[in-house]
Amino acid sequence: MKKAFMLLSIACAVALASCNKNEEQKEEDSVFSVSSPIIVDTTIYKEYVCQIRSSQHIELRALEKGYLQDIYVDEGQHVKKGQLMFKLMPMIYQAEAQKAQAEVNYSEIEFQNTKRLEDSNIVSKNELAMAKARLDKSKAELAVAQASLGFTDIRAPFDGIMDRFNVRLGSLLDEGELLTSLSDNSKMWVYFNVPESEYLDYMKVSKSSQSQNVKLKLANNTLFDQNGKVETIEADFNNETGNIAFRAGFNNPMGILRHGQTGNILMPVVLKNALIIPQKATFQILNKNYVFVVDKNNAVKTRLITVQAELPHMYVVSEGISTGDKILIDGLRKVKNDEKIKYEYVKPSEVFSELENVHAE
């Protein structure tokens, strides 16, 4: 009997110790971390969908009619200014040039003979003038024939990259027919549309500063390794969208960017005296953002906030809270509205220092 009583006492003591331990653990777990928002000057980036274009992108067309005799380049090839790319069959144009040269030679002889006769007062000055006019006309016709012959050689007007060919060797070309296009990708023009309100904000800043530096995010979500600058703004707004087009220039030394690419422009916006809180201190209900604010009675109250911008692990808040508020920064799922809690206040500098370290990693 005594043995059974002793076993029961031991079991009760173990159970009591276990309960005390659980209560102590629960007591420790119920202490929440609370902090306050901070006000700092910061920079956010607004994203705009953009189109990437070569600073020089032209169509190469046949200037004369004829057969495509030779192709000296390939699709996608880099070419130099003045490099021969295509040649039309020149026989007809060579014959025209030879004919025009013969006319010049004949007119030159006729003019010299007439000049000697005029010097001897055998013919009038008017006849000499007519001979001179015929010579000038034949020289002009020769120049036209030589130009037409020159048009059978199609050369690169600048350094660039060849596009796809629209014709093949031996094709019969009409005057003006498209051969291919040529792009100079050493510098790229990036176009993006800005809403009217943001345009007005930009103009306020640009009056006292140089052209805005911008970044380019490519289709694979990586940043292009060169920064660009806003170079020009179009004259008119689009009445249907309320946007106006900006153009930024980017150097492209490695040739990564190509005509026709897409991406996103990241334009920095400086926010003065921005109110910042940790993202982990917020929760969403029906796409609206809330925080728990601890009142003077240590009760948590749900507070609706307006998020102005998003930073890594942080939010910029425009409405809903102030620096004097104490907000819950952990254990948000463990509390309910109007519930009293025990908390430990953490300095904002410590909270945001940890967030910056997480972002750096």
CATH number of the domain within which 84 lies? 2.40.50.100
CATH number for the domain harbouring residue 306 = 2.40.420.20
Q: What is the pLDDT, as a whole number, of residue 211?
A: 74
Same domain, 299 and 347: yes
Mark whether 64 and 176 lie in a shared domain: yes
Q: Does residue 137 sit within a domain?
A: yes
Picking from 181, 201, 236, the residue at the C-terminal end of a domain is: 181
What is the β-pairing status of strands 213-217 and 84-88?
A: unpaired
Residue 336 sits in the same domain as residue 195: no
Domain assignment present for 15: no
- How remote is the C-alpha of 315 from its chain's centroid? 25
Q: Are residues 324 and 351 in the same domain?
A: yes
Query: 3 in a domain, yes or no?
Result: no
pLDDT tens by residue, 126-179:
887 887 888 888 888 878 767 766 677 889 999 999 999 998 888 888 888 999
**292-328 pLDDT per residue, tens:** 999 999 999 999 999 988 888 899 999 999 999 999 9
Q: What is the pTM of this model?
A: 0.68
Residue count of the chain:
361
Q: 281 with 330, same domain?
A: yes
What pLDDT is stored for residue 158 in this prediction?
Answer: 93
Phi/psi-derived region of residue 310, left when phi > 0, alpha when psi is between -120 and 50, beta in every other case:
beta
Q: Are residues 285 and 147 in the same domain?
A: no
Q: Within the chain, which residues score under 50 in pLDDT? A: 1-8, 11-15, 17, 21-28, 358, 360-361
CATH number at residue 198: 2.40.30.170
Residue range(s) defining the domain that contains residue 105: 60-181
- For the chain, what is the domain count? 3
Using the 3D structure, point to which of 253, 271, 289 is the last residue of a domain: 271
Residue where a domain stops, chosen among 161, 181, 201: 181
